[in-house]
Amino acid sequence: MIDNRLYTDLSLCGTERASCDIIVRVVRDAVETHFAEAVGALTPGPARDPDLPVRPGTSLTGTRCRELFAVQLGSRLLDVAARVMRERDEGFYTIGSSGHEGNAAVAAALRVDDPALLHYRSGAFYLTRSAQAGRLAEEGLRDVLLGIAASSEEPIAGGRHKVFGHPDLAVIPQTSTIASHLPRAVGVGFAIERARMLGLPSPWPGDAVAVCSFGDASMNHASALTGLNTAAYGRFRGLQIPVLFVCEDNGLGISVKTPPEWVTQARHPLLEYFQADGCDLAETYDVARRAVEHVRANRAPAFLHLRTVRLMGHAGSDVEIGYRTRKEIAADLERDPLVRTARLLVEAGLAEPDELLARYEAERDHVLKLASECARRPRLTTAAEVMAPLAPRRPEAVAGEVVRSAPAEARERAFTTLPEQEGRLTVAQAINRALADAMAVDPGVLVFGEDVARKGGVYGVTRGLLRRFGAERVFDMLLDEQAILGLALGAGVSGLLPVPEIQYLAYLHNALDQIRGEASTMQFFSQGAYRNPLVVRVASYAYQKGFGGHFHNDNSIAALRDIPGVIVASPARPDDAAAMLRTCLAAARTDGSVCVFLEPIALYHTRDLFEEGDDGWLAPYAPPARWAETHVPVGRARSYGDGRDLTIVTYGNGLRMSLRAAVRLTAEDMGCRVLDLRWLSPLPVDDLMRAAELTGRVLIADETRQSGGVSESVIAALVDNGFRGPIARVTSQDSFVPLGPAAGTVLLSESDIERAARKLLA
């Protein structure tokens, strides 16, 4: 029975550190005491053959049950250790798995090579899988304890976070953003089948099942709904997506109750549904096996609903008594899965209560000793150490990869006329040809998004790719940017090279977490063991003629530029667009880079620069033999003109406007040079400084907004690096872009640039 006195004390606790320590201890004691009392009271049954079912009607044998009890116990003691470590200031993470140890049976129903994306309550799953891989029990425990201790020796995140992950166990680490891994899990399931279909190598076997677990409250999240819906939609359309969703339903999201039966009622109707009492190991094992078998055999998604409990609160310092009744807490304890498995063993005559209690104590000592050892292991001590795996950059290797072109026959199949023989191309045409070239050389390149296949994109950029490369590699997705990016992340982590398209920049924002929280953190939290190479093409910026309004003319990229490690490319000209796309694809392949490729919609089909009919914005497509010399490394700008009076720093649409303004100014003896940044993250700081020093005066022409726009960083870079000359900037307004001619009132214009330049030169 739970000790009510202790919980009464708890309600008096404040949130000071000392009080928190008491809370942590009291809650831990309550769970441990309950285990001892409940197991001590069990009545042994007649001895059964351990090779037979541990209980009539189950497929779980006594031997397997004993093994799984061992990992369940290990998982429970990791939570105990996390709390003890916290009390000693040796541990930094106390969200535990107590009450969810039934997920050991889910792991047992899967294979060690089935890719797993796990909920943070997956201690028992992880330990089971570790044992399945032939590792010693102690190794799995140590992995987790090193994570709690934030030690740099922790095998996956190296002390950067406490996650479940291991490259040898096919466990892909997840961030703390609940549910954000479901879209990726669908992508992994999709990629298992797609790689098999295309005959491509994959880290996962062709008959693998992707598994993805999450809590009941998380199931309400938009990203979770995206994952569930995408899998169901794919299935509805006849696609094979072997993904098993496991909802571990403890009825709570921190303090908020999930209405009873909500998960059952709100589950996706098109997903095969399995449910089990997650506190009953034998039942969970039987049902999980059926669910896994369904997914594996049918290559179809399924939803496994496990009813669990949450013991020891949400995390160490959570004062559960503040929002739950004692009766509710006690009812959870009565369902303690560790006690339930102990009962299975005792009633099958496979263990004595005293033996299990002695084992608990011995194992507890062992885990706490391991915890003390782990707490003494090294931690990350410098920013350089912390950041080492963030976004590896090997520019020489990338340059080497850029020149890898498709064999002549493959190119001839890909193009009716080779693009280098087509004459001068527009930006849209150049990107289209570079995509085709990439697809011809690398069968793992997949192009997908909204309207990219049959229609060839709203602006025709992907036109013809479906016909040439087939529906397996060029396909339309359902209308959900999270689904598009999630699929890309799953494909990327599975060895493919996804090139998804986001139809308009504004719509990237409602799926940004897939880049911000998921894609960009993968190498950081796995020390490069897992990576998600990605080139997201985004139709971007304003100045569209005839198709106005904010959402088709968004000019904000602030949310992208502060994501550590993400490459933001912003080509303006056709030749740069093709070369920079090659660079991004090579960086993705070589370094696993996450690249956002911002395509200026208004320049897609632009032909002229200075005068009507001058074709000044067209450029020829470089043949593969010239890809080395035309290579544009990440972080290198392009300079125009040789004026000595003023440097105009710009990019995107600003380049064309600045070049036009510069010609007029130069004609009046005001010598201008124009610098196209081309890369907005990382900024080409060296080129910027050189161009600035050459004239001693800088005008920044920035089509993004005044607040949070690119110009802020350019000014900061100039000042930080010691530029002392005058600096001015012209930007768009801090406004959304209105429909029709009014758009011009809030957007940077050519005359703004010219006026500001004259002022700076006056």
Ligand X SMILES: Cc1ncc(C[n+]2csc(CCOP(=O)(O)OP(=O)(O)O)c2C)c(N)n1
Is 704 strand, coil or helix?
strand
**Buried b or exposed e, range 326-363, using 16+ CB within 10 angstroms:** eeebbebbebbbbbbbbbbbbbbebbebeebbebbeeb
Q: Is 24 in the site for ligand X (CB under 6 A)?
A: no
Residue 322 CB, shortest distance to ligand X, in Å, is 16
Query: 98, 250, 503, 732: which one contacts ligand X (CB under 6 A)?
Result: 250
Q: Is 310 in the site for ligand X (CB under 6 A)?
A: yes
Q: Report, in this order, helix, strand and coil percent for the chain, each rounded to 5.
A: 45, 15, 40
Q: In this complex, which beta carbon is closest to ligand X, that of residue 262 or of residue 273?
A: 262
Q: Are strands 594-600 and 567-569 parallel, antiparallel or unpaired?
A: parallel
Stretch that binds ligand X, among 214-222, 536-544, 629-637, 694-702 (CB under 6 A): 214-222
Which residues make Cβ contacts (< 8 Å) with residue 672, sequence separation at least 6? 641, 643, 645, 646, 647, 648, 661, 662, 665, 666, 757
| Cis previous bond, 500, omega within 30 | no
Q: Is 264 in the site for ligand X (CB under 6 A)?
A: no
Residue 703 CB, shortest distance to ligand X, in Å, is 32
Catalytic residue among 294, 552, 605, 631: 552
Among 704, 22, 43, 132, smallest CA distance to 345 is for 43
CA distance 134 to 121: 22
Q: Is 296 in the site for ligand X (CB under 6 A)?
A: no
Q: In this complex, which beta carbon is closest to ligand X, that of residue 25 or of residue 257?
A: 257
| Helix (H) or strand (E) run with residue 737 in it | none
Residue nearest to ligand X (CB): 215
Q: Is 217 in the site for ligand X (CB under 6 A)?
A: yes
| Site string (118-137) toward ligand X, x via CB under 6 A | ---x----------------
Stretch that binds ligand X, among 47-55, 212-220, 387-395, 607-615 (CB under 6 A): 212-220
| Site string (70-109) toward ligand X, x via CB under 6 A | ----------------------------------------
Residue 464 CB, shortest distance to ligand X, in Å, is 40
CA distance 661 to 755: 9
Q: Long-range contact list for 315-320, CB < 8 A, 24+ apart? A: 315/94, 315/95, 315/96, 316/20, 316/23, 316/24, 316/82, 316/83, 316/86, 316/94, 316/95, 317/15, 317/20, 317/23, 317/24, 317/94, 318/23, 318/254, 319/10, 319/11, 319/13, 319/15, 319/23, 320/27
| Helix (H) or strand (E) run with residue 474 in it | strand 474-476
Residue 182 CB, shortest distance to ligand X, in Å, is 11
Query: 61, 218, 426, 462: which one contacts ligand X (CB under 6 A)?
Result: 218
Q: Is 254 in the site for ligand X (CB under 6 A)?
A: yes
Residue 62 CB, shortest distance to ligand X, in Å, is 30
Start-to-end CA span in the chain (Å): 85
Site for ligand X in 313-352 (CB under 6 A): 314
Query: 215, 301, 353, 456: which one contacts ligand X (CB under 6 A)?
Result: 215
Among 126, 144, 174, smallest CA distance to 79 is for 144
552 is catalytic: yes
Q: Is 487 in the site for ligand X (CB under 6 A)?
A: no
CA distance 253 to 208: 31
- Where do the DSSP E strands lie in 575-645? 594-600, 619-620, 638-640
Q: In this complex, which beta carbon is closest to ligand X, that of residue 182 or of residue 447?
A: 182
Q: Is 253 in the site for ligand X (CB under 6 A)?
A: yes
Sheet containing 638-640: which strands, arranged edge to edge? 638-640, 672-676, 646-650, 698-705, 727-732
Stretch that binds ligand X, among 216-224, 380-388, 636-644, 674-682 (CB under 6 A): 216-224
Q: In this complex, which beta carbon is closest to ligand X, that of residue 215 or of residue 456?
A: 215
Residue 326 CB, shortest distance to ligand X, in Å, is 19
Q: In this complex, which beta carbon is closest to ligand X, that of residue 510 or of residue 751?
A: 510
Question: What are the residues facing 210 on neighbouring strands?
Answer: 243
Residue 177 CB, shortest distance to ligand X, in Å, is 5
Q: In this complex, which beta carbon is closest to ligand X, that of residue 218 or of residue 650?
A: 218
Stretch that binds ligand X, among 146-154, 209-217, 360-368, 607-615 (CB under 6 A): 209-217
Q: In this complex, which beta carbon is closest to ligand X, that of residue 127 or of residue 179?
A: 179
Stretch that binds ligand X, among 248-256, 288-296, 444-452, 565-573 (CB under 6 A): 248-256
Is 275 strand, coil or helix?
strand
Residue 254 CB, shortest distance to ligand X, in Å, is 5
Q: In this complex, which beta carbon is closest to ligand X, that of residue 222 or of residue 397?
A: 222
Q: Is 674 in the site for ligand X (CB under 6 A)?
A: no
CA distance 131 to 141: 10
Q: Is 52 in the site for ligand X (CB under 6 A)?
A: no
Question: What are the residues facing 171 on neighbouring strands?
Answer: 116, 166
Q: Is 227 in the site for ligand X (CB under 6 A)?
A: no
C-alpha distances (whole Å) from 748 to each of 236, 251, 706 are: 46, 52, 10
Residue 482 CB, shortest distance to ligand X, in Å, is 12
Residue 284 CB, shortest distance to ligand X, in Å, is 16
- What secondary structure does DSSP assign to 57-85, as a single string? T-S-BHHHHHHHHHHHHHHHHHHHHHHHH
Instruction: Say which residue the tokens 């520019």 belong to.
Output: 395
Q: In this complex, which beta carbon is closest to ligand X, that of residue 310 or of residue 697?
A: 310
Residue 511 CB, shortest distance to ligand X, in Å, is 13
Q: Is 178 in the site for ligand X (CB under 6 A)?
A: yes
C-alpha distances (whole Å) from 69 to each of 31, 97, 105 are: 17, 14, 10
Q: Dihedral through CA 233, CA 235, CA 238, CA 239, nearest 10?
A: 100
Which residues make Cβ contacts (< 8 Å) with residue 17, sequence separation at least 6? none
Other residues' Cβ atoms within 10 Å of the Cβ of residue 259 = 10
Q: In this complex, which beta carbon is closest to ligand X, that of residue 196 or of residue 257?
A: 257
Query: 63, 132, 177, 240: which one contacts ligand X (CB under 6 A)?
Result: 177
Query: 84, 252, 519, 692: which one contacts ligand X (CB under 6 A)?
Result: 252
Q: In this complex, which beta carbon is closest to ligand X, that of residue 314 or of residue 324?
A: 314
Q: Are strands 672-676 and 727-732 parallel, antiparallel or unpaired?
A: unpaired
Residue 165 CB, shortest distance to ligand X, in Å, is 17
CA distance 624 to 375: 54
CA distance 376 to 370: 10
Q: In this complex, which beta carbon is closest to ligand X, that of residue 179 or of residue 244?
A: 179
| Site string (157-176) toward ligand X, x via CB under 6 A | -------------------x
Residue 235 CB, shortest distance to ligand X, in Å, is 24
**Residue 332: φ, ψ to 5°:** -65, -45
Site size for ligand X (CB under 6 A): 15
Instruction: Say which residue the tokens 């972080």 belong to.
Output: 635
CA distance 473 to 444: 8
Q: In this complex, which beta carbon is closest to ligand X, that of residue 308 or of residue 711?
A: 308
- Catalytic residue set: 552
Q: List interacting residues with ligand X (CB under 6 A).
A: 121, 176-178, 214-218, 250, 252-254, 310, 314
